[in-house]
Structure 1
Amino acid sequence: MQKRWAGLILLTAVLLAAHAESEFTPPPKPATVPAAALWVGGVDGGVFVHVSPLKEKGLFAAAIYFQDGSGLWYKGELKHIGDAPFDPTSAASYSAWDGDNLLLRNGDRLEAINPH
């Protein structure tokens, strides 16, 4: 009987955690962040990013904004490390910013170079 209750409690906890994760909505975008910037993060925080391709293949112009809109964390070029295609205009392409790399959900990354 105790195993049954333990299993039921564990199942309930897993379902509640999954439900809470699925209902996450990004924070409101501060007025100091451009409208085209995308949220990259989760329940524990994140950043707003604006990424656009440059003429040279594999290079992107980027601006990474603090979550609270207090300013820029990074502004400069990013180099695509990897060869999987991704859509730079889709928030679904990104998983996290680690301070030096914008991590992509496909396993590649955009590495910070030449910051301004």
Structure 2
Amino acid sequence: MMKQDITKLYGKYLSSGELLVLKYLSEHGAMKASDLSKKMNVSASHITNVTDSLTEKEYMTRIRSSVDRRVVELALTDKGKRILDECLEMKLVYFQKKFDSFSEQELEQMIALFTKLYKTQQ
């Protein structure tokens, strides 16, 4: 339910796949589509579809290598950085409202339980 709520918040700007690609490029810098596909563990066709959409929206650009013209890297534009920041802020505000009624102790307990759950899946 929360995932659907969050998607509705920024859905008019970005799909969840687009948000993940922008976030990944923001954290790791420009890279080739094939490398991005491997790092994110998604198909090359998925990356192509998402990056085509992001390029069309001017949130991302393709940069051809000056050393090897066959190599093309994907990079965020300033517009892409701004929309990413806006969407992440929307997400933060959503979670702040969602967990506002929890006490500090309840939040710490929930984090501990989710951490334990995460560790059992590795």
Greater fraction of residues in strand? 1
Query: Which structure exhibits the higher relative contact order, with contacts defined as CA atoms closer than 8 Å and separated by 6 or more residues?
Result: 2
TM-score by length of structure 2 reads 0.21
TM-score by length of structure 1 reads 0.21
Compare CA radii of gyration and give the structure with the larger one.
Answer: 1
Greater fraction of residues in helix? 2
